Amino acid sequence: MKVIIIGSGLMGVTSAYFLRRRGHDVTVLERADGPARETSFANGAMLTAGMAEPWNSPGSWTELLASLVRSDTALRLRPQALPSLVSWGITFLRNSAAAAFERNALSILKLALYSREAMQFLRDELAIEYGRTARGSLSIFRSHAALDRASARAQRRSDAGLRFRRLTSGEAVALEPALAPIADQLAGAIHYETDETGDAYRFCESLAEQASGLGVRFRFGTTVSSLEVESGRVVAAASNQERLIADRYVMAAGSYSTPLLRQAGVDLPVRPAKGYSVTFKDSCESPSLRMPIIDSQLHAVAVPLEGAVRLAGIAEFAGYDRRLNAARIRNLTKLLPAVLPRARVDLATAKPWCGLRPSSPDGVAIIGPTRIPNLWVNCGQGHLGWTTAAGSAKLLTSLLSADTPGIDPAPYALARFA
């Protein structure tokens, strides 16, 4: 069948590839001049089952309230965003209850592991180069209580396929020598053995090229202004140039999926959470960073890339404001010495970035049909878009093609919010 995908970030490009490989006629509409130019451009660069958890952990509401008067919290709520977050926020808080949080974390983990298999398939089939490393990630803890809680959570998820090792401080430093200067501050660490890193932007560019070779049409510089609905079905996607017609329409436009779907009468509970990163040229003293370091106390992640180190770990609910907040960038940069004291970064090389992560209120992706039969969605992956992209696209393709999916689709259905 003929499928139009709106958006060419991680969700759009992976969906295009899997749908085309299944035999569908695929066109991708993208307002930017190429793939992955917005939220997928400079994300945290981690494919991490170890961090497969929603943001709304039990007690997170206290941090959100504190953020209304403090600017240094990792998760920040700006007053101007409050009107758009009322009903969404109620569901967000409801899902921060311990039982709901654990259920949602398990759903994310299953999608992350499914996605890891799909990524392996893509690498085997296409030999895509995107700076991948596969040494795992290291989550460090500065208190034994925090380490015990994290170990217990990981153990509960081990039955679902999460692989991890609990390490002493000395074992953590042996695995990642860059931590030696803060060894005496560490209670221990958890090594998530199967986590990976990679450049999502490079991946999207390479996969889009492969998809084009299979016949996917990418229409860059094409802004979709609305979806035309007649008799309960979408009949066209109206762009700044023309009306485009298909049998199925897939909304994969990240946070911008919500206003477009609203025009079509579909309520998508996805809101933008602005995420930040800063990328520095790698000028660390020897030994250089070998694997991602996750500091849960500081809410920071330091990730090695080819010739660079990327620091990420701050998000704010500020509506669709895409401006870089200098204070938030400074807060993020200040965390680097606390995680990597040996780092000698040249601020002149810093490349700050922000993107609007499309976040569902329970933290779980939304994949599948809407109440309009020929209108589908692949959105809401939040801060785990890179981790779950390939699996999300594979699940969407199975459902849209009426194939038996390789994972239970119910936890990811839009209907769960009905």
What is residue 294's three-state secondary structure? strand
Helix (H) or strand (E) holding 249: strand 248-251
**Count of domains for the chain:** 1
Q: 87 in a domain, yes or no?
A: yes
pLDDT at 257 over 90: yes
Binned at pLDDT 50, 70 and 90, residue 348 comes out as confident
What was the pLDDT predicted at 345? 64
Rounded CA gap, 356 and 39, in Å? 6
Q: 185 in a domain, yes or no?
A: no
What was the pLDDT predicted at 76? 67
Q: 163 in a domain, yes or no?
A: no
Burial of 344 by CB count in 10 Å (0-12 exposed, 13-18 middle, 19+ buried)? exposed
What dihedral do alpha carbons 256, 259, 264, 269 form, nearest 10°?
90
Binned at pLDDT 50, 70 and 90, residue 298 comes out as confident
Neighbours of 198 (CB within 10 A): 22
Binned at pLDDT 50, 70 and 90, residue 77 comes out as confident
Residue 304: C-alpha distances to residues 77, 134, 214 (Å): 29, 12, 33
What is residue 242's three-state secondary structure? coil
pLDDT tens digits for range 116-148:
999 999 999 999 999 999 999 999 999 999 999
pLDDT at 366 over 90: yes
Rounded CA gap, 206 and 35, in Å? 10
Average pLDDT, the chain: 91
What was the pLDDT predicted at 229? 97
Task: Evaluate whether 263 touches 227 at the Cβ level (below 8 Å).
Answer: yes
Binned at pLDDT 50, 70 and 90, residue 18 comes out as very high
Q: 182 in a domain, yes or no?
A: no
Q: 28 in a domain, yes or no?
A: yes
Strands 271-281 and 351-359: antiparallel
Task: Evaluate whether 156 touches 99 at the Cβ level (below 8 Å).
Answer: no
pLDDT at 67 over 60: no
Can you state the angle between helices 385-400 and 10-21, rounded to 10 degrees?
Answer: 30
What is residue 277's three-state secondary structure? strand
**pTM reported for the whole predicted model:** 0.94
| Structure token digits, residue 237 | 């996607």
pLDDT tens digits for range 206-217:
999 999 999 999
What is residue 259's three-state secondary structure? helix
What was the pLDDT predicted at 72? 60
Average pLDDT over residues 198-222: 97
Helix (H) or strand (E) holding 185: none
Helix (H) or strand (E) holding 236: strand 233-239
Count CA atoms closer than 13 A to 377's CA, side-chain side.
30
Task: Evaluate whether 310 touches 345 at the Cβ level (below 8 Å).
Answer: no
**CATH code (residue 220):** 3.50.50.60
Strands 300-305 and 308-317: antiparallel
Beta bridge partners of 379: 366
Q: 162 in a domain, yes or no?
A: no
Enclosing domain of residue 341: 2-136+194-417
Nearest of 55, 194, 56, 15 to residue 112 by alpha carbon: 194
Task: Evaluate whether 29 touches 4 at the Cβ level (below 8 Å).
Answer: yes
Binned at pLDDT 50, 70 and 90, residue 286 comes out as very low
E strand segments, 306-350: 308-317
Q: 331 in a domain, yes or no?
A: yes
Q: 164 in a domain, yes or no?
A: no
